[in-house]
Structure 1
Amino acid sequence: MKRLYFLTILPFIGMLGFLPFVNRVEPFVLSMPFVMFWIVLWAVLSSVILAVMYKLDPRNKEDEEK
């Protein structure tokens, strides 16, 4: 159960940890510089990770049964 909460670290590591490695303008992805695309990608992935955590959390299943 506690291992599930380690998923919250992934967006932090992805967005800030790898930023020095992706800090470049070229290539353009979806008409955005790569660094901007990287940040937008992790913003979307953060939402997906939180949705997965919500579905897997057993405390939320107790509320659905009532």
Structure 2
Amino acid sequence: MKTLKIILTLLPFVWSIGMIPFANKVHPIVLGLPFLAFWFVAGIFLAFLCLQAIYFIDSKHRQNS
């Protein structure tokens, strides 16, 4: 469970910072946004989902204690 929380914590960081060189090479328009702007917006939603999953895991663990 601890490794899952670590992966969920690092995933938004890797998405936003680590993958910029790869996302910056593509130049289409997605939903009216340049691809890099779309990438960052998608990263915000990904971070929200990861934090929600971590909260769910922690609250479930807290109820069992």
Runs of at least 4 residues off by over 6 Å: none
1:4-26 CA-to-partner distances (Å, cap 9, x unmatched) read 32110000001100001111462
Larger radius of gyration: 1
Distance in 2, Cα, partners of 1:52 & 1:4: 10
Match of 1:39?
40
User: What runs of 5+ residues in structure 2 fail to find an aligned partner?
Assistant: none
Distance in 2 of aligned mates of 1:32 and 1:39 = 11
Give the 3-state SS of the residue equivalent to 2:27 in structure 1: coil
CA contact (8 A) 1:24 1:35 kept: no
Identity %: 43
Deviates more, 1:36-45 or 1:2-11: 2-11
> TM-score by structure 1 length?
0.80
Q: Tell me what 1:2 maps to.
A: 2
Aligned twin of 1:26: 27
Q: Following the alignment from structure 1 to structure 2, what is the Cα–Cα distance between the partners of residues 39 and 22? A: 10
CA distance in 1 between partners of 2:41 and 2:14 (Å): 14
Structure-2-length-normalised TM-score: 0.82
